[in-house]
Structure 1
């Protein structure tokens, strides 16, 4: 019994980096996309969750092994392997994407708290961004980040699972949606958006930094289990639950959603204010975790690219993380949403940066001189290559949509 308890405790301690990655990927935009998938197409796209999570798990586990295998950061490895220009391009690209999308996370925090307490979202945007910036300057920020993200994941899970049981979904249709892949007419745009956001190469890349930060805080953890898969599975569970809730509640009523908070409003006439409050708590958890996590990614990668440090002990990195938060909050307060021009800018940067990052991770993971015994297995090489094909295909489709079908370019 004591041995089982010891193993369980070890496993729980290994979850931190994977949970942080899951929390930063599952933000307000992900809740909006998954809500729309369920509201418009019912249970028919549940299979997509399993596919996207599978490839996300492949690349997140790869990043974990890269982080454990080398003393250098991933961008430092890229600099050594392909030159300074490649590392700087990756770091600046990730910073621009993180900064561009940060406004949406701030808006999500403001709306969730504002609707819960029936107040203006602006005050909450200011308060929670200031609170997040204060967290940065704790002596051991990684430990604070890890505990905060795990708490927020638990809050999200409890909120969504409670809503799930309120919804009373059809188990037969759920099973069919999982095991019988089907692409409903008109769903391609949502399929692309979900795959691109759930199979997040930037989130996977950051896993290598989180693992190294964790080992830096406690060197004894280098040779212990570092589980990234459990956090990614939890990401899939949350996506699955939101789709099912929307399919069970909104689709029969013909209710569509344009933002994550719309789903909370849609719950109220059906289940009363308690249900919408529960869902708004989950939305707050998703938004606030992304406010911290997304800013941490942008600040850390830019700091590393510019040679200012690659961990939270560097004051420069903490200031850059805070800068992402300040810019995001300022845009959110000024416009009340993520402006279309910023979305277009973020998409254009993502199109050119993400395939490059995925390819760099794949070749580093295949390099035995860097990875040693942790080099990619044949299984990972095959499915990692398939994942890269998906990433490049999404980039081609997105570039066509962005540059040829976007009203801003006409």
Structure 2
């Protein structure tokens, strides 16, 4: 084969994707499994439409992130600092870091929940954090390693949850009806349900969409690869929707009326119906979801904070790996505290909620601002239709932030001052798991 022929040979389509698989893994975590299982057990198939709507908005912002990383040469926070100033950029970076740290102790508890059915050893998460740290500092091409790992985890999740759904024998007619808003027993009034907001929060994860711009650069995409970026984002959204709908439909088919306080309860509830094999399959899927989110989530917090501080935003920069390690260790120590003391980390949960109120809309606004700029994007800036959908998604995030602030953060702070704090279910994926862990 001549050099010209070698250059003209393009890799297969599945070799040209990757960032979307990584993003899907961070979205499908223990909190999303618990939330979708709870809604399926409570509302049946009627909330499938919410999954689809949330995935559409996630697709929009993931596409924005991929396009930004593909078209521009500078890192996202460098561009943002030039556009809005370094102080606001640092605020976003710090917010993303603390959100990732909050999610991380939920991921640790998810790994622990998957293991505790098969071993009494309480320090399994220490081993898995040590493995993650070895990956973090032991491999030069960190992105390539992560992409391959996430591809495996996605395949395992799809297979595990699909087999469980098959044996659950869901009602296909009811599943089809669930695509239509208001078709369930609660109708559109169920939108006020806090667990429904939790489902939106577990699927429309703006920090993961923001990080997509970094993953696109790590993949080496350029302007000519914009089509690959769009395909990748669509595959990512499809995977998120499939896994979430499979988990929700399994719960709707076999756990109707069951109250689930933790992801371990989901596996235990499946055992009488599916036997040990069904529980094992669920735990394999749970472990894959927890550990895949475990790795990528810590990278989101570490990389974006490092970049916002001007310390670098690539796997080759020392600061990114050190701050990623900080997220890993924070999540591990808080999780160990919860496991050993059987105490809810009330202050940490309330603080994480408060940070989310500020950081999530800011991150979405920053992504929308950068991709709408002709100076930054040139001819590839957002069109009217993309801006319309992104704007609706931004308003949705603002509404959720307002709800969390007024209905959760402020009341909990007042309870803490009066000495009667009792953190309730909140619309954040991994915090759901933590807040209910010892209920």
User: Does the alignment reach a TM-score above 0.5?
Assistant: yes
Aligned to 2:433: none
State the shift of 1:180 in Å: 3.7
Moved beyond 6 Å, runs of 4+: 218-221
Q: Distance in 2 between matches of 1:161 and 1:149?
A: 18
Q: Distance in 1 between matches of 2:327 and 2:304?
A: 12
State the shift of 1:408 in Å: 3.1
Q: 1:289 to 1:239 in 2, by over 3 A?
A: same
Q: Point out the more displaced range, 362-371 or 179-188.
A: 179-188
SS at match of 2:228: coil
* Per-residue Cα deviation, 1:335-356 (whole angstroms, up to 9, x for no partner): 1276232221111001011111
Matched, 1:408 2:413: no
Aligned to 2:267: 264
Q: 1:214 to 1:173 in 2, by over 3 A?
A: same
Residue 241 of structure 2: which of 232, 236, 241 is its match? 236
Matched, 1:354 2:360: yes
Matched, 1:132 2:169: no
State the shift of 1:330 in Å: 1.1
Q: 1:272 to 1:51 in 2, by over 3 A?
A: same
Q: 1:308 to 1:186 in 2, by over 3 A?
A: closer
Q: Distance in 1 between matches of 2:227 and 2:142?
A: 22
Q: Distance in 1 between matches of 2:190 and 2:199?
A: 16
Matched, 1:213 2:218: yes
Residue 246 of structure 1: which of 246, 251, 271 is its match? 251
Aligned to 1:3: none
Q: Counterparts in 2 of 1:177-216, with a 5 A limit?
A: 177-181=178-182, 182-183=187-188, 185=190, 188-215=193-220
* Per-residue Cα deviation, 1:174-208 (whole angstroms, up to 9, x for no partner): 01111243335585201211112211111100000
Q: Distance in 2 between matches of 1:111 and 1:357?
A: 31
CA RMSD of aligned residues (A): 1.8
Q: Counterparts in 2 of 1:162-173, with a 5 A limit?
A: 162-173=163-174
State the shift of 1:409 in Å: 5.5
Q: Distance in 1 between matches of 2:143 and 2:170?
A: 39
Q: 1:409 to 1:39 in 2, by over 3 A?
A: farther
Aligned to 1:384: 390
* Per-residue Cα deviation, 1:305-348 (whole angstroms, up to 9, x for no partner): 12221011112211111111111111111212762322211110
State the shift of 1:374 in Å: 1.8
Q: Counterparts in 2 of 1:110-149, with a 5 A limit?
A: 110-115=112-117, 117-120=118-121, 122-137=122-137, 138-149=139-150
SS at match of 2:314: coil
Residue 83 of structure 1: which of 82, 85, 88 is its match? 85
Question: Paired residues, what number?
Answer: 398
State the shift of 1:302 in Å: 1.1
Residue 22 of structure 2: which of 20, 29, 40 is its match? 20
Q: Distance in 2 between matches of 1:238 and 1:409?
A: 41
Aligned to 1:303: 306
Contact between 1:355 and 1:392, CA under 8 Å: does it hold in 2? Answer: yes
Aligned to 2:72: 70
Q: 1:50 to 1:318 in 2, by over 3 A?
A: same
* Per-residue Cα deviation, 1:23-61 (whole angstroms, up to 9, x for no partner): 011111111100100011111111100100000000100
Contact between 2:72 and 2:376, CA under 8 Å: does it hold in 1? Answer: yes
SS at match of 1:197: helix
Q: Counterparts in 2 of 1:2-41, with a 5 A limit?
A: 10-41=12-43
Residue 364 of structure 1: which of 370, 388, 402 is its match? 370
- 5+ residue gaps, structure 2, are 1-8, 419-439
